[in-house]
Amino acid sequence: MPALNVDLQINDIYIPHLENTARTQIFYGGAGSGKSVFLAQRAVIDVLQGGRNYLICRAAGKYSRKSTWAECLNVIEGAELGHLFKVRIVEQVIECQNGYQLLFSGLDDTQKLKSMRPAKGAISDIWVEEATETGRQDIKELYKRQRGGDPAIPKRLTMSFNPITQTHWIYDEYFKGVGWAEEQTAHREAGISILKTWYIHNRFLTPEDVADLEGERDPYYHQVYTLGNWGVLGNVIFRNWRVRDLAPLRAQFTNRRNGLDFGFSSDPAALVVSHYDRKRKIIYIFDELYEYGLTNDLLAGLVKEKIGSDYVVCDSSEPKSIAELNAHGVRADGAVKGKDSVLHGIQWLQQHTLIIDKACIHTRNELTQFKWKEDKHGKAMRLPLDKNNHLIDALRYAYEADMEAYWLAM
């Protein structure tokens, strides 16, 4: 193929992977190691060169737009290549002037996924971002999706993620499959290639980013997000939950409980929408919002879309935000948060079964990782680690009145 004269700043460790043709490719590791940016760069270069079309997906489509979509546009704009691409926001397609395309979809949008065809040629590449959000079956379907096409162009299915827990099916399937040793950082053959990276491999991180990562004190988070090692989760707080497709049950979810935790730049705004089956002690979480950078008027619009005229119980430390939501027609109220409300809330939730809709990716992530603080011997203290718990806080607010009634009756 003709060499392209494109000035992209690529981290050294990834450069050989521009030419990697292994059928299955895994890029995993610590936070901020440059995985997503590199894969976006590779996608843009490949369509520019022609011959390859990409399907770029995440488990839940609603999160694609903020991540891979924005990432690819950044690469195009950063390299001043905008004039070579047409961007179609509604269809979520970025098309190069040579006709090759980047197609974006959520794996939850099965209709769209089935009907997606590139303008010319076949889908040679699939990139699944945050692949730990997917199930084994989702990925199997994607391999099938790539049947056919030009045999001269090797097909690739690429996954990127942080290694959140060694009990994950991806570890079983691919890492055990190649006899992966934890000290290993790369594996390469025709069938599968694995590359582990962490912050030292990304020369574009700021000193503050590096200090944040190096300063992570919780051993689990340090292993996974600083060093990129497969996580071993002990001292997890919630094990009383499971995932289901709740879409078919939605109409029956009339006993609503909604909770909202505010956030803006460093924390997301986090909304939990749920149904309470008090008799059977089951909480169905069937919708969530998890978004950074929302002003209160935008937040109000999104919350109303999800809960309509229902109540939502919010973090009371932001009375101004609550007042603004009210002014925008959201029936929002502050949580009371009495003494020991965090621990009591956790205990109360532990006595229930939580059933989470499969598209509520962030709720699933938080529940997977929410853990007790540990002393220096690794022993759990009676204090949850205050990290990655925005939706869990929202859930506590949502059920505050139910909890109070329960503890009063004790």
Ligand X SMILES: Nc1ncnc2c1ncn2[C@@H]1O[C@H](COP(=O)(O)OP(=O)(O)OP(=O)(O)O)[C@@H](O)[C@H]1O
| Contact positions vs Mg ion (CB under 5 A) | 36
Helix (H, G, I), strand (E, B) or coil at 1: coil
Of 37 and 283, CB closest to ligand X:
37
| Shortest CB 337 distance to ligand X, Å | 31
Site residues for ligand X, window 8-37 (CB under 6 A)? Answer: 9-11, 31-37
* Nearer CB in complex with Mg ion: 37/123: 37
State how far the alpha carbon of 102 is from the alpha carbons of 40, 54, 220, 327, in Å: 10, 5, 36, 41
Considering only the stretches 4-12, 187-195, 232-240, 319-327, report the one whose residues sit in contact with ligand X under the rule CB under 6 A. Answer: 4-12
Q: Judged by CB under 6 A, does residue 258 bind ligand X?
A: no
Nearer Cβ to ligand X (127/175):
127
How do 93-96 and 101-106 pair as beta strands? antiparallel
CB of 156 to Mg ion, least distance (A): 18
Q: In terms of Cα–Cα distance, which of 56, 62, 57, 91 is closest to 287?
A: 62
Using an 8 Å Cβ cutoff, are 134 and 128 in contact? Answer: yes
Strand ordering across the sheet containing 311-314 = 241-244, 353-357, 282-291, 269-277, 256-261, 311-314, 331-334
Q: CB 36 → ligand X: shortest distance, Å?
A: 3
As to burial, measured by CB atoms within 10 angstroms (0-12 exposed, 13-18 middle, 19+ buried), residue 342 is middle
* Minimal distance, residue 227 CB to ligand X, in Å: 12
- Binding partner of residue 204 among Mg ion, ligand X, none, CB under 5 to 8 Å per kind? ligand X
- Residue closer to Mg ion (CB basis): 366 or 393: 366
The item of ligand X, Mg ion, none sharing an interface with residue 37, based on CB under 5 to 8 Å by kind, is: ligand X
Rank residues 37 and 313 by Cβ distance to ligand X and give the closer one. Answer: 37
**Pairing relationship of beta strands 282-291 and 54-58 according to DSSP bridges:** unpaired
The residue number whose beta carbon is nearest to Mg ion equals 36
Q: 33, 228 in Cβ contact below 8 A?
A: yes
Dihedrals phi, psi of 14, to nearest 5 degrees: -90, -15
Residues 175-214 that bind ligand X (CB under 6 A): 202, 204-205
> What are the residues binding ligand X (CB under 6 A)?
9-11, 31-37, 162, 202, 204-205
